[in-house]
Copies of this chain bind each other. A is one copy, B any other.
């Protein structure tokens, strides 16, 4: 009888199946540690206020690379290093101008900004009539002769009805990305795009746009939602007014930049890697606080939490600060190429790139076994507001690892406020709440702890 109990005891104490009571205690300590450390919040303040917006190829991006490396070194993480890569480079140039000219000789300024990677108007700017359309579809249905030599104003109003604002974004972002191509093929000479946000404010939102080499590259501008409403009202009253647009933005030669990497080396299987990540570059008009300073802080804080709590992982936990998510994803591509070449074994890659608001779940890209395993952790997260364990997209930078068979997870956070800030001058440090940021670190650290302990094989 004693032997029977001994066997039971040994079974219980060595069992590797989830959940164990001890896990709840560890995860409680992870949350407590995250909520009591001001490091991530203070680091985010530094990145936002002392470095600021940091589009790839810029001086600020280079500064941010050096700064993140020094942060990782100061924590004493293992194997801190840079991974060199080439990035496209683009300069916004002088403050953009948009000025309406009316029949009666009066004028009115509108606040605009160039959309990312747009060509400029040239020093002299351009002045033409405007055609307002709702979206790409409405443009296609216009009399094409009418479009020639005009400026197309895409006034696609983002829809309030979506619960998840990323659905709103997907629905509304088309003109920003493809609007210049579509307008150029019909002979338009510039485009103005309503900002993709549900907030009624005066911030123009930038973001990436595309050209094709077979068509003339025409300048693209973003206008705030309030500005777009005003422009639309003006065009209703005076359809023939002209607008003067000027931007001196331009693409520069490609430039050297870097991913930044640091690790906590695994005890049992140091060759097996779990990646936590965010992207270090941001658009230039704001501070890149939610997009994606928060993700960078989450990743660094996961390693800090492990070290602070003396949790020595079985596998290596690697933080990657990806360069160039916003423009051409060179950092993510380079990282995946390197993994392919070296044959490094990755268990999974996790990315935080949806802002620093309250975490709510994980979006899992992987096979059914991976999804089932991550779902088996669900109960332990319920008390921490994490209730969404969904099959879905992981993250832009880590998506390049999927073709190597490496699964990925994207943090899901409360999306309601995200697009109030996204790609705009409004994406500043003050818009990130300390506790909400800390909870993101805790959520990812807890997930990493469980994956590291239990692996991703069933059961």
Contact A161 B36 (CB under 8 A): yes
Of the residues B32, B358, B382, B387, contact of A161 by C-beta under 8 Å? B32
Tell me which of B163, B382, B433 contacts A31 (CB under 8 A). Answer: B163
Within 8 A of B (CB), among A1-30: none
Q: Report if A35 contacts B (CB, 8 A).
A: yes
A416 within 8 Å of B (CB atoms)? yes
Is the C-beta of A240 less than 8 angstroms from some C-beta in chain B?
no
**Contact A36/B160 with A360-B385, A414-B358, A414-B385 known, Cβ cut-off 8 Å:** yes
Residues of chain B contacted by A387 (CB below 8 angstroms): 382, 387
- Please determine whether B383 and A163 come into contact, CB atoms closer than 8 angstroms: yes
Q: Does A439 contact B (CB under 8 A)?
A: yes
The answer, among B32, B384, B416, B433, for a CB contact under 8 Å with A436, is: B416
Q: Is B433 touching A163 in the complex (CB atoms < 8 A)?
A: no
**Residues 252-284 of chain A, each 1 if its beta carbon lies under 8 Å from chain B, else 0:** 000000000000000000000000000000000
Say if the beta carbon of A435 comes within 8 Å of chain B: yes
Distance (whole angstroms) from the CB of A440 to the closest CB of chain B: 11
Distance in Å from the Cβ of A453 to the closest Cβ of chain B? 22
Known: A198-B435, A435-B198. A163 touches B384 (CB 8 A): yes
Interface residue A417 (Cβ < 8 Å from any Cβ of B): yes
Chain B residue numbers with a CB within 8 Å of A358 are 358, 414, 416
Q: Which residue of B lies closest to A442 (CB)?
A: B163
Q: Are B385 and A163 in contact (CB under 8 A)?
A: yes
Q: Which residues of B contact A35 (CB under 8 A)?
A: 160-163
Which residues of B sit under 8 angstroms from A162, Cβ to Cβ? 35
In the complex, what residues of B have CB within 8 A of residue A434's CB? 198-199
CA A436 to CA B165, docked complex, whole Å: 12
Partner of A416, one of B163, B416, B433: B433
Interface centre among A382, A416, A433, A434 (most CB of B within 10 A): A416
| Contacting residues of chain A (367-412) with chain B, CB-CB under 8 angstroms | 382-385, 387
CB neighbours (8 Å) of A433 from chain B are 416-417, 420
A68 to B198, CA, bound (A): 28
**Interface residues as binary, A424-457 with B (CB distance below 8 Å gives 1, 0 otherwise):** 0000000001111001000000000000000000
CA distance A426 to B414 in the complex (A): 22
Shortest distance between the CB of A355 and any CB in chain B (Å): 13
A414 and chain B: residue at smallest CB distance: B358
B161 touches A31 (CB 8 A): yes
Name the residue of chain B whose CB is nearest to the CB of A437: B416
A198 contacts which chain B residues (CB < 8 A)? 434-435
CB distance from A164 to the nearest CB of B (A): 9
- Chain A 21-49 against B: per-residue CB contact (8 Å), 1 yes, 0 no? 00000000001100110000000000000
Q: Which 10 residue pairs spanning A and B have beta carbons closest together?
A: A387-B387, A32-B161, A35-B160, A416-B435, A36-B160, A416-B436, A358-B414, A417-B433, A163-B384, A358-B416
Q: A35-B162, A420-B433 are in contact. List 11 more A-B contacts (CB 8 A).
A: A31-B161, A32-B160, A35-B160, A36-B160, A160-B435, A414-B414, A416-B433, A416-B435, A416-B436, A417-B433, A417-B436
24 sample A-B contacts, Cβ–Cβ < 8 Å, listed by A number:
A31-B163, A32-B160, A35-B160, A35-B162, A35-B163, A36-B160, A160-B435, A163-B383, A163-B385, A165-B435, A199-B434, A358-B358, A358-B414, A358-B416, A385-B414, A387-B387, A414-B414, A416-B433, A416-B435, A416-B439, A417-B433, A417-B435, A417-B436, A420-B433
